[in-house]
Chain A
Amino acid sequence: MAASASAISLPARARKREEEAELVRLAQSGEEAAFEELIKRHQQRVFGLVNGILRRREDVEDVVQQVFLKVFVSIKRFDLRAAFSTWLYKITVNECWDYLRKKKVRPLVYETDLSEEQVSRLDGVASAERPPESPARQAEARDILEQLLDELPERDRELLVLKEVEGFSVQELAEMLDLNVNTVKVRLFRVRARLMDVYQRRVGVHEDHSAAKGRSKTDGSEI
């Protein structure tokens, strides 16, 4: 995803940016069709961004609509010196954080350990060359991954999900979060290690449980 974004040639990117600037100018002059076109162009990424931060809570759609409303109201103040997408993503990130602050959302907590079946699927995913293809498997894999991600610090988790799942580039993340590019990279590398700590602990705990169960069964049969 990030790779595909960087694969776009420079003239094409410049042309796209100029086109977008023209749409912004039209939207600033009150043309609703131009604003609708801007929504069309960015809806998926805004959705991904909100999803990545709010983690599929039921209010994702409301927050996305709130973002676009805010952008519509304040687009006249946008001065076109920065890229429209950067400005839009910054508004989106702030709206998500406001939402989490207002709602005082508690982090989702998964009390239960992963089932044996889940562990084996997760193992399969971690070692597979390609992600699972069927939508049901994808949803399940995502659910399991959510349980692992939940144990990570909130801001680091956001960074990892936005980069690796939603496909934002390091440059985009740095701009929208007001961070240095290298800071983003360091944080990403560290949070990967943390994710793998959680993964190994979960899988390890499960293996310990299975071993204990096996031992007790063996002991019982011996008695």
Chain B
Amino acid sequence: MEARFNQMACPEFEVLLEDHLTGDLSGADAKILAEHLEDCVACSAALEHAAPSVQLLRAAPPSADPGPGYSRMVMARIRAEISKRGEQKSIWQPFVSLAWRFAATATLALALLVTFDAVRHVQYDRQTDLAYVPVTETRDLFPDPAGLPANRDEVLMMVADTNHGKQ
């Protein structure tokens, strides 16, 4: 643990140290790191410590290509899997179509019910419209005797009637 602590590099130089290890460092960055390494014991030690890992990891070869026939094999498996999924679907297909038919019938029935109800409401409203006579119309049929006089003559007539009654 102590050894690791001593080998901790400056955080701001870790990217450059990694680039240096993998050979991806050049130009100004390489110069900056070289100057820093001259002064920084911790970074120098960390670099020295990590450097053999590059060689060590080369011991492991990369995964081999599975070969030219592999893609054909994968495609065969994909086809098999897709058709299997299709078959699984087809097992449920009759139930699914039955459910759809039921849903469609129920929707149609509901629509008919709503339409019928709406039509009935309209008819009922028309009937009640006939039974209902607005106030203005009733006034025309049965004029209010105590209504206001419409012109000057009516006023005079009303006054005459009143005076006549008194006499």
Taking CB atoms and an 8 Å cut-off, the chain B residues in 64-90 that contact chain A are 64-66, 68, 70-72, 74-75, 77-79, 81-82
Chain B residue contacts of A200, Cβ below 8 A: 3
Q: How far is the CB of B42 from chain A (nearest CB, A)?
A: 12
Q: Is the CB of A127 within 8 A of B18?
A: no
Contacts A69-B77, A142-B60; A43 near B71 (Cβ below 8 A): yes
Taking CB atoms and an 8 Å cut-off, the chain B residues in 27-67 that contact chain A are 46, 49-50, 52-66
Taking CB atoms and an 8 Å cut-off, the chain A residues in 62-78 that contact chain B are 64-65, 68-69, 72-73
Chain B residue contacts of A83, Cβ below 8 A: none
Chain A residue contacts of B68, Cβ below 8 A: 40
Contacts A126-B52, A189-B17; A131 near B59 (Cβ below 8 A): yes
Contacts A39-B74, A197-B4; A192 near B63 (Cβ below 8 A): no
Q: Is the CB of B59 within 8 A of A189?
A: no
Give the dominant DSSP class at B's interface: helix
Q: Is the CB of A68 within 8 A of B18?
A: no
Taking CB as reference atom, which chain B residue is nearest A199? B56
Query: How many residues belonging to B are interface residues under a CB distance threshold of 8 Å?
Result: 41
Q: Is the CB of A165 within 8 A of B62?
A: yes
Contacts A44-B65, A185-B19; A141 near B59 (Cβ below 8 A): yes
The contact of A47 among B4, B56, B58, B65, by CB within 8 Å, is B65
Q: How far is the CB of B5 from chain A (nearest CB, A)?
A: 11
The contact of A189 among B3, B21, B72, by CB within 8 Å, is B21
Contacts A35-B75, A65-B74, A196-B52; A186 near B58 (Cβ below 8 A): no
Q: Is the CB of B63 within 8 A of A44?
A: yes
Q: Is the CB of B71 within 8 A of A39?
A: yes
Query: How many residues belonging to A are interface residues under a CB distance threshold of 8 Å?
Result: 56
CA of A1 to CA of B147 in the docked complex: distance in angstroms?
Answer: 109
Taking CB as reference atom, which chain B residue is nearest A190? B14
CA of A27 to CA of B150 in the docked complex: distance in angstroms?
Answer: 91
Q: Is the CB of A145 within 8 A of B4?
A: no
Taking CB atoms and an 8 Å cut-off, the chain A residues in 195-223 that contact chain B are 195-197, 199-200
Taking CB as reference atom, which chain A residue is nearest B58? A131
Q: Is the CB of B50 within 8 A of A192?
A: yes
Chain A residue contacts of B46, Cβ below 8 A: 189, 193
B15 proximal to A (CB < 8 A) = yes
Chain A residue contacts of B60, Cβ below 8 A: 131, 138, 141-142, 145-146, 161, 165
Q: Which 3 pairs from chain A and chain B are nearest by CB?
A: A141-B59, A164-B57, A39-B71
Identify 24 residue pairs between A and B in the complex whose beta-carbon atoms are under 8 Å apart, listed by A's number: A40-B71, A43-B70, A43-B71, A44-B63, A44-B64, A51-B63, A69-B81, A122-B59, A132-B59, A142-B60, A145-B56, A148-B56, A161-B60, A164-B53, A164-B58, A167-B62, A182-B15, A186-B15, A190-B14, A192-B18, A193-B53, A196-B52, A196-B53, A196-B56
